[in-house]
Amino acid sequence: MDRVAVADETALAAAAAQGDAAAFGRLYDLHVVRVHAHCARQLGTVQDADDLTAVVFMEAWRRRDAVRVVDGTVLPWLLVTATNVARNHRRGLRRYRSALAKLPPPDPVPDHGGEVAQRMRTADGARAMAAALASLGATDRRVVSLCLIEDLTYQQAADVLGLSHAAVRSRLSRSRRTLRDALLAAGYDPDANGSEGDGDD
């Protein structure tokens, strides 16, 4: 991320905190793709990811006074918000049910044999990962989501979660074992499919 982007995002977050909807819309534009992918990974499906993405940003607006800028970007904070919302996503969907009703259904995905088969294989792994994530405690899930899935550094995760660098490292070490056991129990070999990164700092 370059210096211009860093400066812009900090200013946008400050303006949004003051109620500037246009500034908030710009933050949406910057990060919606990453947030949407994160929501899909948290749920293990894309079916609810659209709705959950909307909920994340509506929650972000509702809690805009609490937005935390880390290394000049609000993305880590949005990802944490997405992780939190995903844990209680049914409740979040209910809270914003009226607003979400305005969202038209997604376009149907064309069926192209081999592509669908590939999608099924990757989606199957995603579901296994989502189930494994659900087996973690709240804080461990946030740490894993930021460091192993979104490739944030340990320090960035520590800053946005209010943890020490050592605590992030320790939680990751423990969570890796938990995730691995959960994936293996689900019949999914994480080593064979490369679903985890090293997460090195």
Partner 1 sequence: MTDSSSWPPQLDPRRAAQIRSVVMAEIHDQAAPRRRRRRILTVVAGAAAVLLAGAGTATAVLLYAQPDQANLGYCAPVASLDRAVWDRYAFGAVQAPDGTWETLDAVEACAAMRQAGVLGAEFQDGGANAPDELTACIVEGELVVFPGGSGTCRRLGVPEAAVAP
Residue burial 12-22, b: 16+ Cβ < 10 Å; e: rest? bbebbeeebee
* Beta carbons of 38 and 87 less than 8 angstroms apart: no
137 or 197: CB nearest partner 1: 197
* Nearest-approach distance from CB 69 to partner 1, in angstroms: 20
Task: Tell me which residues touch partner 1 (CB under 8 A).
Answer: 21, 24-25, 28-29, 32-33, 36-37, 40-41, 46, 49-50, 53-54, 57-58, 61-62, 96-107, 109, 112, 115-116, 118-119, 122-123, 125-126
* Beta carbons of 144 and 87 less than 8 angstroms apart: no
Give backbone dihedrals phi and psi of 157, rounded to 5 degrees, phi first. Answer: -65, -40
* Nearest-approach distance from CB 55 to partner 1, in angstroms: 9
* Beta carbons of 155 and 121 less than 8 angstroms apart: no
118 or 170: CB nearest partner 1: 118
Using CB atoms within 10 A of its CB, is residue 174 exposed (0-12), middle (13-18) or buried (19+)? middle
110 or 187: CB nearest partner 1: 110
49 or 172: CB nearest partner 1: 49
* Nearest-approach distance from CB 125 to partner 1, in angstroms: 7
* Nearest-approach distance from CB 64 to partner 1, in angstroms: 10
28 or 77: CB nearest partner 1: 28
* Nearest-approach distance from CB 155 to partner 1, in angstroms: 27
* Beta carbons of 157 and 171 less than 8 angstroms apart: no
**Cβ neighbour number for residue 59 with a 10 Å cutoff:** 18
